[in-house]
Amino acid sequence: MRNLIAKLAMAAAVLGGGLGAAAAETANIWVRADGSNFMPRIVDAYNKAHKDQVKLDIIPNAEIIPKYGAAAAGGTAPDALSLDLIYTPSFAAAGQLEDITDWAKSLPYFASLSPAHVKTGTYKDHIYGLPFSADASVLIWNKKLFKQAGLDPEKGPANWAEIEADAEKVNALGGNIKGFYFSGNCGGCNIFTFTPLIWASGGDILSEDGMKATLDSPQLRGAIDLYRSMVKKDLVPAGAQTDTGANFFAAFAAGNIGISPSGAFAIGALNTQYPNVDYGVTFLPGKDGNWSSFAGGDNFVVTKGTKKLAVVKEFLDFAYSLEGQTILAKYGSLPVRGDIAKDALKDLDPRYQIAAEAMAKGKTPYSVVFNDLINSANGPWTQMINEVFFGDDVDGAIANAQETMQSIIDQAPQK
């Protein structure tokens, strides 16, 4: 018995990273499930090479915000977390995050960190979040189906007319094969893949500072008409109308879809889980060419008042090293440091280069009420896209969404 206690005590000392006087510290970090592939590997690599340690918890995507809120209220919040970047403004506005402006600006590579991340990580001229992982939206097409339909399998569509024409040709193959797929009842999916069509044509849905909804634009109307026309011609499976995002990736992966807007994450997922699908990656085009992308991913934020700030900084610095960025790229995220992105992607699937380029020029809407406006399954954006793609009253739906979005923005707490 005494023996057992002694062993336990020793184990505890080892686990605690103790070794007496050295007193290594352990910081607790959370990541949402989207990062469950690369994050544990970066943490392992860091822990092996450093005296201070990081303990990682992976939280389901939908749970991480309420769980963090509850933990923060109870004083058990993690020292830092990797947070969907669009939430950074609202977290910063709530006074929950540590101001890391000085440290961020002292980093020698600060200028080459993903600009879209840094922009959403900045609140009232202070920096609260820095890029951690990145995902850019792109257009993917099925090369096998393109070949069968008599199209050039190496050439993806480069404007709206080509998207529709190619989808129509693939659709004509018949049977289970459909030309185009999108998740028609998923706000998050469509802000990621549908708004770039608008941006590439020169329009936008929110003003630069996020204080004005600007839905009533010819660019939005044009993009809607493209989708409506494809729905009307039956190029899209019937399930798209009610897909809340569950099939966002799976529909294309099954191999029966000609073209689908998607994200860089699909490259890793297709290569590892569906090696038989032969696909190409290109940019999301504007009406007459040009292109754009949604720069998504996670910002790394630090809980206000944490005592492990030094460990957290050391960990982030490691993640930004070439080693960290390479691990990141290998396991499903794009690099977030522009100056070494090429090196980090060197040995990987060349299709990542397109996604990395899309990321570099990517755009992210800025709003402290992003969840209410866009991601919520019952928010104005989700309701509007479903109505305008499949309903009868396009003008009414846009006007209604414009009004609701503006009122949500106006009612948001201004601190």
Partner 1 sequence: MTTIPATSVAPARKRAGAGRRQWIGLIYVAPAVALVMVFFVIPLGMTAWMSLHNWPLMGEHSFVGLGNYWAILRDTRFWNALKFTGFYTLVVTIAIFAVAFPLAIFIERPRPLTNLYRTMFFMPAVVGFASASLLWSWLLNVDSGLFSPAAYDLGLIDRKFNLLATFQPAFWSIIAMVVWKVAGFTMIILMTGLQSIPQDLQEAAVIDGAGPFARFRAITLPLMRRTLALALILSVAGSILAFDQFYIILRGGPRNQTLTAVYWIFNQSFVSFKLGYGAALSMVLLVILVALSLVQLWLLRKPEGLD
Binding interface with partner 1 (CB under 8 A): 65-66, 68-70, 72-73, 90-91, 94-96, 185, 237-239, 241-242, 244, 371-372, 376-379, 383, 386-387, 390-391, 413
- Number of alpha helices (DSSP H) and beta strands (DSSP E) in the chain: 20, 12
Minimum CB distance to partner 1, residue 409 (Å): 13
Nearer residue to partner 1 within complex by CB, 247 or 292: 247
Compare residues 303 and 333 and give the one whose CB is closer to partner 1.
303
Residue 395's contacts (CB-CB under 8 Å, 6 or more residues apart) are none
CB of 253 to partner 1, least distance (A): 14
Q: How far apart are CA 393 and CA 388, in angstroms?
A: 7
> Which residue shows structure tokens 């950074």?
88
CB of 372 to partner 1, least distance (A): 5
244: number of CA atoms within 13 Å, CB side? 6
CB 113 within 8 A of CB 130: yes
Cβ neighbors of 27 (< 8 A, separation 6 or more) are: 52, 53, 54, 55, 79, 80, 306, 308, 311, 312, 315
The Cα 158–Cα 259 span in angstroms is: 12
Q: Tokens 């040709």 — which residue?
A: 169
Nearer to partner 1, 72 or 158 (CB): 72
CB nearer partner 1, residue 338 or residue 391: 391
The CB-of-225 to partner 1 minimum distance in angstroms stands at 20
Per-position b or e across 288-303, b if 16+ CB within 10 A of its CB? eeebbbbbbbbbbbbb
Instruction: Let me know how long the chain is.
Output: 415
Nearer to partner 1, 240 or 336 (CB): 240
Give the whole-angstrom CA distance, residue 235 versus residue 182: 11
- CA dist 7 and 31 (Å) reads 33
In terms of CB distance, is 293 or 383 closer to partner 1?
383
Closest distance between partner 1 and the C-beta of residue 66, in Å?
5
In contact, 409 and 373? CB cutoff 8 Å: yes
Quote the least distance from Cβ 68 to partner 1, whole Å.
8
**Residues in contact with 132: Cβ distance below 8 Å, sequence separation at least 6, in sequence order:** 35, 82, 117, 297, 298, 299, 300, 316, 319, 336
Q: Which is nearer to partner 1, 69 or 222 (CB)?
A: 69
Q: How far is the CB of 31 from partner 1 (least distance, A)?
A: 18
Please say which residue, 71 or 309, places its beta carbon nearer to partner 1: 71
Q: Distance between CA 310 and CA 79 in Å, rounded?
A: 11
CB of 72 to partner 1, least distance (A): 5
CB 121 within 8 A of CB 129: yes
For partner 1, the closer of residues 70 and 161 by Cβ is: 70
